[in-house]
Amino acid sequence: MLEDLAKAYGKSGLAIARDYQGWDLFSAAPYESSTHGGRYVHNYSSEPAYGRFEEAGVMPVGAMMAKDSFTVSAKGEVEIGPLFIMEKMASGFNPQSNDWRYTMVMPDGSIFGQTMGKASDQMQFCADCHLATETDSLFFMPEEARAK
CB of residue 7 to ligand HEC, shortest distance in Å: 20
Of 105, 113, 61, 121, nearest to 87 by C-alpha is 61
Q: Which is nearer to ligand HEC, 44 or 75 (CB)?
A: 44
Q: At closest approach, how far in Å is the CB of 84 from ligand HEC?
A: 4
> What is the signed CA dihedral for 97, 28, 105, 107, rounded to 10 degrees?
-160
Closest separation in Å from C-beta 45 to ligand HEC = 7
Of 11 and 136, which has the nearer Cβ to ligand HEC?
136
Is the CB of 15 or the CB of 75 nearer to ligand HEC? Answer: 15
Binding site for ligand HEC (CB under 6 A): 33, 35-36, 41, 43, 65, 67, 84-86, 102, 104, 125-126, 129-130, 138-141
- Whichever of 10 and 31 has its CB closer to ligand HEC, that residue is 31
Nearest distance, CB of residue 98 and ligand HEC, angstroms: 11
- Nearest distance in Å: CB 128, ligand HEC: 7
Q: Torsion-angle region of residue 21: left (phi > 0), alpha (psi -120 to 50) or beta?
A: alpha
**Cα angle 140, 56, 86; round to 5:** 55
Q: Name, in order, each residue with C-beta under 8 angstroms of 62's C-beta and a sequence gap of 6 or more.
A: 46, 87, 88
Q: For residue 136, what are the CA distances in angstroms to 32, 33, 79, 86?
A: 23, 20, 31, 12
Between residues 9 and 140, which has the closer beta carbon with respect to ligand HEC? Answer: 140
